[in-house]
Amino acid sequence: MPLNSTVQSVTDRIINRSKDSRQAYLDRMARAADQGPARAHLTCGNQAHAYAAMGQDKDTLLAERAPNLGIVTAYNDMLSAHQPYETYPQVIKAAARAQGATAQVAGGVPAMCDGVTQGQKGMELSLFSRDVIAMAAAVGLSHNTFDAAVFLGVCDKIVPGLVMAAASFGHIPTVFIPAGPMTSGLSNDEKTAVRKKFATGEVGRDELMKAEMASYHGPGTCTFYGTANTNQMLMEFMGLHLPGASFITPGTPLREALTTAAAERALAITALGNDFRPASQILDERTFVNGIVGLMATGGSTNLVLHLPAMARAAGIQLDIDDFSDLSSVVPLMAKVYPNGLADVNHFHAAGGLGFMIGELLEAGLLHPDTVTVAGDGLARYAQEPKLKDGALTWEDGAAESQNDKILRSASNGFATTGGLKSLDGNLGRGVIKASAVAPELQVIEAPVRVFPGQQEVKDAFRNGEFTEDTIVVVRFQGPSANGMPELHGLTPTLSVLLDRGLKVALVTDGRMSGASGKVPAAIHVCPEAAQGGPLARLRDGDMVRLDATTGTLDVLTADFDNRLPETADLSANQAGIGRELFESFRQNVGLATAGASPLF
């Protein structure tokens, strides 16, 4: 099947838009590669410091004939998704020794859990932690003693930050190694029902805690299809994982075999061998387009609409939200995984998972088939799935048909003909809406607004019974320069209850809503943000606003709107405490949400 014309045209305009910045990046990577990561450039004193603690590996390091892997790990045992990484460095080192090579932990990066900080002050550090992760990984790799890097990370900001670091060190190869999702716990519909009952006061905190603990119950990624699991999908579509590695649960023989194989593959693709695959070669325009296609086909997290532009900029590539919207218009929604459906990622994987989906999209001409990956040339390898046979790891063709068409469908028979993400543009600014789970009757909402400074005020108004008519809820001064752009995930149960009561409600915000926003129509990432004098700062209670996901428009209909002065907000409460004072320079220098909301690019 020839490549879809829209996929080709979007790719071409990204290439043209990025021509100068991409060439400058590639020139920089070529110079770094020419200098080489070989350890011979170090002085004897440098090398003595680098190898002092390496014991049995010292002689191999000094000989400089075998590659040395740098391990960058996001391990901590507070995050269920990252707890399995505790033992990975030893597995990787053993794999390297078996190949006559070496591996060292180059450094650790922070890894916060948005599930812990949702609705808390710490969430205001969440988005910027992505950029700190990129910087921390760069510090670890800056010793320049490594021939390749392996990255251990899964969750929301960790993978994007690590990809940014991988691009910055794009003169060496990079392999990402996942840890897998936890086994399935309490079903998502049961959990959602309890959350709604708690929001309305029908059950107490004890019942809510019981449900939450039954949902998030063991090592591994949370099983709903939020940002963490969207990241794992992305690493396969972008060719940075081994094929089929994303959704194998922790603590299984197959999981450990894949970790060993990832280390072996990283050793095989260094400049010391015959199959050199630096990260800069993998992270090109076609690879990022494939990642966006995967995002649309799976109905993934809107957080990646923030992260992908930042990741791409690290590789000299400039993405725009219209690229996401245009690709969404031709990519079918092939999966229904919570919050878009009732299934979790384990059910999705059992139904055929990413291997089936990639095979279908390649056959439909919706993916670039000729990308460079860590597994080899071309994306077709990623239509295969790993198996353990007699203790040996092998790959076989994935499922030719969906094993459950209520969860996963073919490209020709998707749940929807589009990916459901739309860019928005109008006199309220630019933003995006994820409409894949939004009912048809809620795709267009025209209603008066209620303006709030934060999500707690929305919850208070709900508890006071103030929502009695169709309403567009505006939560402003939630952008990156205001308070770090925390997720407003805590609004989901409240707004869902209002929808269940028959009201038409929507959210408009310069903040984030995350991959768990579900059925609530939400115009998010609106910029320029209110703190920078954007149009949202001129809204007043009662203004009529029209949010149209079908035409991609977001407009206020009040006649005197353009003549108003913007409101300002007292943001002093967001500037200090829980480490927020350390991020003042980030808030002052952050870019637009449409460009990735990064203070680094």
Please report the DSSP string for 69-125 in residue order. EEEEE---SSSTTTGGGGGHHHHHHHHHHHTT-EEEEEEE-----HHHHTTSGGGGG
126, two tokens? 């969440």
Domain of residue 472 covers: 421-595
Asked if the structure places residue 9 within a domain, the reply is no
| pLDDT tens-place string over residues 450-492 | 999 999 999 999 999 999 999 999 999 999 999 999 988 888 8
The CA R_g of the chain, rounded to the nearest whole Å, is 24
d(CA 561, CA 546): 14
Give CA–CA dist 238/295, Å, rounded.
11
The DSSP call for residue 57 is G
Residue 579 resides in a domain: yes
**pLDDT value of residue 516:** 46
DSSP 478: -
Domain final residue, candidates 365, 397, 429: 397
> Greater confidence, 115 or 475?
475
Distances from the Cα of 63 to the Cαs of 47, 48, 462, in angstroms? 12, 13, 68
155 is in an annotated binding site: yes
Asked if residue 207 belongs to a domain, the reply is: no
Instruction: Please give the C-alpha separations between residue 274 and each of 103, 179, 268, 271, 277, in angstroms, as whole numbers.
Output: 20, 29, 8, 7, 9
113 is in an annotated binding site: no
- The closest of 521, 545, 578 to 447, measured between CA atoms, is 545
Inform me whether the pLDDT recorded for 514 exceeds 70. Answer: no
Is the pLDDT score of 48 beyond 90?
no
| Residue 297 and residue 248 share a domain | yes
Bridge-based pairing of strands 384-389 and 148-152 is unpaired
Note the pLDDT tens digit of each residue in 323-375.
999 999 999 999 999 888 889 999 999 999 999 999 999 999 999 999 999 99
Q: Is the dihedral of CA 445, 423, 588, 534 positive or negative?
A: negative
Same domain, 161 and 33: yes
Phi, psi at 69, each rounded to 5°: -90, 135
User: Is 30 in the same domain as 118?
Assistant: yes
Cα–Cα distance for residue pair 232/249, rounded to 1 Å: 13
pLDDT in tens, 103-114: 999 999 999 988
Establish how many alpha carbons lie within 13 A of residue 140's alpha carbon, considering only the half-sphere containing its beta carbon: 26
* pLDDT of res. 37: 63
Looking at the predicted structure, is the pLDDT value of residue 98 above 90? yes
How do residues 566-592 score in pLDDT, each as one tens digit? 999 999 888 899 999 999 999 999 999
- Quick one: what percent of the chain has pLDDT higher than 90? 78
CA atoms lying within 13 Å on the CB side of residue 119: 11
- 384 with 438, same domain: the answer is no
User: How many domains in the chain?
Assistant: 2
Judge whether residue 517 has pLDDT over 60.
Answer: no
Cα–Cα distance list, 399 to 382, 403, 592 (Å): 12, 8, 41
What CATH number has the domain bearing residue 476?
Answer: 3.50.30.80
The mean pLDDT of the chain is 93
273 domain-assigned: yes
Give mean pLDDT, residues 507-519. 78
Residue 58 lies in a domain: yes
pLDDT for the residue 248? 96
